């Protein structure tokens, strides 16, 4: 079994050395630090099971891989893989020009594959060895890569019929290669520094992560303390019955994080308000102490590096028809609190932000050009059946089109107004996070490098159970340096939570004061029904009220298995009855 991080490094050194002799040898580096991949040393596309490197431009947005790539898996097996499920035009291109060349391509589902390990004699006479992937790559560069280069060069006009030529199969732009190469060099340097330390995780610099907070006299809170032991707490989940004080607690935390001034009425109601908090900042504990509005001025920036907050009312309340001046006003500090503190506040529209960036100043256009790929990738990764986002001009008006595919792999474009409510709400949430955090960290282009804290009240609201789980998974990967503090009435988001997530129950004591209890519980092996009956939710019973006590409960892990055993038990019962009748007849 290969250490794929080591393979990434070997390939990096080998290909950079090859560029000394061939300056036109451009290849695809991983572009984003999503899920900490660049920090961990994954310089190219892939995951723990395979590495994918391409020498041509063009992405299959549906599979999230380059259209044409050389694959090395964890066993050392190598293959040429072509994925064109995102475009019927690219599929036609491959079938017309590639299948007639000596690439030995075989159609496997929607992919075209050529394995180099089935006929290793083409490379040399040695028996196949998992560590000979470098020899296979050299063979590929000398043979099939040259064939593919000829095809792409001689048929470049084929993609003139594509609506979006920016995703056509072509050669990698040298300026884009250099930009990615410089980014990889920075991450290699950081990784080398981290690897020289005894504790890699402690060395990570993730400013603004909340470690503890003590709140006095805020709304229903008289005295409340939360102390978190783990420094990896990317997710803090609050649970509790309606009216327990979860929203009150989130607002108190937001007031602390954002240096929010209390209104005159709030100060009257809570004259003894004070708070003390600890944050992880550059691997050091940073303390925050505040009493009432002491030291807080209206224009003072949030205490942490990036902050976004959301109340439960965020379905289809998207701010779209608005001037650029008003749009920018919504980004200031005071307006950023409105969603969490004021019912019915609209979210900022990413579609509208696209419009302003594309028609803005030179700096805004440059920023959009840098961020476009990342934003598209992020949204495509999260929204089901979405494969691309394209920017077109129709009738002199700039339009954003969301490209979906149906079960027959046919593309159909939709403008914002035609999107389903659920899709709008998901994109609106992601878009608002991006808009606000990009505005607070103006030099960042890759969302995976954004830092700070995002607060979401009732993260499960409006979402199908599958979407609840997927949202937590996707937010964790997409924003690895963001801490999420959320409330939930559902156990489903928890099964998508990363390790060392924190679970806190919020309840009212005998004096109706809000109390928070941090639970020492490992949910990694728990199913949702078990989570419901755990101290997180504290259900006395999760048995259906219609359950017949004379019948056995169905406890299988999924519905298909439950259905199978139900049918099996029925057939066994019928068989026993039949056998019993036969025996009676024999008597």
* CATH number, position 474: 3.40.50.300
Do both 283 and 176 map to the same domain?
no
Please report the pLDDT score of residue 61 as a whole number. Answer: 73
Task: Please determine, for residue 159, whether its predicted confidence score (pLDDT) is greater than 70.
Answer: yes
Q: pLDDT tens digits, residue range 395-417? A: 877 788 888 888 777 788 998 88
Residue 24 in any domain: the answer is yes
Please report the pLDDT score of residue 122 as a whole number. Answer: 45
Range of the domain at 19: 4-200
Task: Please determine, for residue 545, whether its predicted confidence score (pLDDT) is greater than 60.
Answer: no
pLDDT band with cut points at 50, 70 and 90 for residue 203 = very low
Residue burial 257-283, b: 16+ Cβ < 10 Å; e: rest? bbbbbbeeebeeebeebebbbbbbbee
Task: Please determine, for residue 484, whether its predicted confidence score (pLDDT) is greater than 80.
Answer: yes
pLDDT band with cut points at 50, 70 and 90 for residue 517 = confident
Do both 324 and 384 map to the same domain?
yes
Do both 189 and 303 map to the same domain?
no
Can you tell me the distance from the alpha carbon of 20 to that of 22, in angstroms, rounded to the nearest whole number? Answer: 6
Do both 265 and 171 map to the same domain?
no
In this structure, the number of other CB atoms found within 10 A of the CB of residue 154 comes to 10
Residue 130 in any domain: the answer is yes
Last residue of one domain, picked from the residues 200, 217, 233: 200
Residue 454 in any domain: the answer is yes
Do both 143 and 234 map to the same domain?
no
Least reliable range by pLDDT among 25-39, 43-57, 545-559? 545-559
Do both 476 and 356 map to the same domain?
yes
Q: pLDDT tens digits, residue range 88-113? A: 888 888 888 888 776 778 888 778 88
Do both 242 and 315 map to the same domain?
yes
Do both 578 and 550 map to the same domain?
yes
Please report the pLDDT score of residue 125 as a whole number. Answer: 35
Residue 538 in any domain: the answer is no
Please report the pLDDT score of residue 204 as a whole number. Answer: 40
Residue 36 in any domain: the answer is yes
Can you tell me the distance from the alpha carbon of 95 to that of 499, in angstroms, rounded to the nearest whole number? Answer: 45
Better-scored residue on pLDDT, 533 or 248: 248
Q: pLDDT tens digits, residue range 324-366? A: 888 888 888 788 888 898 877 788 888 788 888 888 788 888 8
What value does the mean pLDDT take over residues 23-51?
Answer: 91
In this structure, the number of other CB atoms found within 10 A of the CB of residue 358 comes to 16
Last residue of one domain, picked from the residues 180, 200, 220: 200
Please report the pLDDT score of residue 120 as a whole number. Answer: 42
Least reliable range by pLDDT among 29-43, 191-205, 295-309, 327-341? 191-205
Q: What are phi and psi of 20, to 5 degrees?
A: -65, -30
Do both 216 and 304 map to the same domain?
yes
Please report the pLDDT score of residue 56 as a whole number. Answer: 94
Residue 220 in any domain: the answer is yes
pLDDT band with cut points at 50, 70 and 90 for residue 177 = very high
Do both 184 and 231 map to the same domain?
no
Last residue of one domain, picked from the residues 200, 225, 248: 200
Residue 563 in any domain: the answer is yes
Residue count of the chain: 587
Do both 215 and 178 map to the same domain?
no
The contacts of residue 47 (CB under 8 Å, 6+ apart) are none
Do both 113 and 259 map to the same domain?
no
Domain count, the chain: 3
Can you tell me the distance from the alpha carbon of 128 to that of 142, in angstroms, rounded to the nearest whole number? Answer: 19
Question: C-alpha distances in angstroms, 433 versus 44, 367, 385?
Answer: 27, 17, 22
Task: Please determine, for residue 124, whether its predicted confidence score (pLDDT) is greater than 50.
Answer: no
What value does the mean pLDDT take over residues 548-570?
Answer: 59
pTM (2 d.p.) = 0.74
pLDDT above 70 covers what percent of the chain?
79
Task: Please determine, for residue 15, whether its predicted confidence score (pLDDT) is greater than 90.
Answer: yes
Q: How is residue 322 written in tokens?
A: 């608005």
């Amino acid at each position: 079994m290969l250490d794929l991080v080591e393979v990434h490094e070997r390939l990096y050194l080998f290909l950079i050395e090859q560029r000394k002799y061939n300056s036109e040898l451009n290849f695809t580096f991983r572009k984003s630090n999503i899920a900490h991949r660049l920090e961990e040393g994954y310089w190219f596309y892939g995951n723990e099971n395979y590495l994918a490197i391409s020498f041509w431009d063009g992405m299959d947005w549906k599979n999230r891989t380059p259209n044409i790539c050389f694959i090395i898996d964890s066993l050392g097996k190598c293959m040429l893989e072509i994925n064109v499920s995102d475009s019927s035009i690219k599929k036609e291109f491959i079938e017309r020009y590639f299948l007639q060349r000596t690439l030995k391509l075989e159609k496997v589902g929607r992919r075209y594959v050529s394995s180099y390990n089935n006929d290793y004699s083409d490379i040399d006479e040695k028996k196949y060895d998992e560590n000979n992937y470098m020899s296979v790559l050299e063979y590929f560069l000398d043979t099939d890569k040259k064939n593919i280069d000829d095809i792409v060069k001689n048929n470049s006009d084929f993609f003139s019929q594509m609506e979006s030529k920016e995703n056509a199969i072509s050669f990698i732009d040298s300026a884009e290669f250099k930009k990615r190469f410089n980014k990889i060099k920075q991450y290699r340097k950081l990784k080398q520094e981290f690897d020289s330390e005894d504790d890699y995780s402690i060395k990570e610099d993730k400013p603004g992560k909340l470690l503890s907070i003590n709140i006095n006299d805020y709304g229903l809170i008289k005295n409340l303390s939360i102390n978190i032991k783990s420094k990896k707490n990317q997710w803090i989940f609050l649970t509790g019955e309606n009216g327990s004080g979860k929203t009150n607690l989130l607002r108190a935390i937001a007031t602390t994080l954002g240096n929010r001034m209390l209104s005159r009425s709030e100060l009257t109601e809570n004259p003894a308000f004070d708070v003390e908090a600890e944050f992880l900042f550059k691997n050091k504990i940073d303390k925050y102490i505040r009493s009432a509005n002491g030291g807080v001025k209206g224009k003072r920036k949030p205490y942490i590096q990036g902050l976004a907050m959301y109340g439960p009312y965020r379905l289809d309340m998207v701010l779209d028809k608005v001037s650029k001046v008003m749009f920018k006003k919504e980004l200031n500090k005071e307006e950023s609190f409105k969603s969490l503190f004021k019912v019915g506040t609209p979210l900022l529209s990413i579609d509208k932000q696209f419009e302003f960036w594309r028609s803005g100043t030179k700096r805004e256009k440059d920023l959009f050009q840098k961020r476009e790929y990342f934003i598209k990738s992020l949204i495509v990764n999260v929204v089901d059946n979405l494969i691309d986002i394209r920017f077109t001009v129709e009738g002199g008006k700039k339009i954003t089109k969301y490209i979906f595919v149906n079960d027959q792999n046919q593309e159909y474009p939709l403008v914002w107004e035609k999107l389903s409510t659920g899709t709008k709400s998901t994109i609106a949430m992601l878009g608002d996070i991006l808009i606000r955090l990009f505005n607070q960290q103006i030099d960042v282009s890759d969302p995976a490098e954004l830092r700070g804290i995002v607060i979401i009240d009732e993260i499960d609201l409006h979402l199908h159970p599958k979407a609840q789980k997927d949202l937590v998974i996707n937010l964790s990967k997409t924003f690895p340096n963001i801490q999420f503090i959320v409330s939930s009435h559902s156990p489903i988001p928890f099964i998508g939570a990363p390790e060392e997530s924190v679970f806190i129950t919020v309840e009212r004591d005998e004096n109706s004061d809000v109390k928070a209890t941090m639970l020492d519980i490992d949910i990694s092996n728990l199913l949702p029904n078990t989570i419901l009956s755990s101290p997180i939710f504290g259900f006395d019973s999760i048995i259906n009220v219609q359950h017949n006590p004379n019948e056995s409960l169905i406890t299988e892990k999924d519905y298909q298995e439950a259905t199978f055993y139900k049918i099996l038990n029925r057939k066994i019962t019928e068989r026993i009855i039949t056998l019993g009748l036969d025996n009676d007849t024999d008597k």
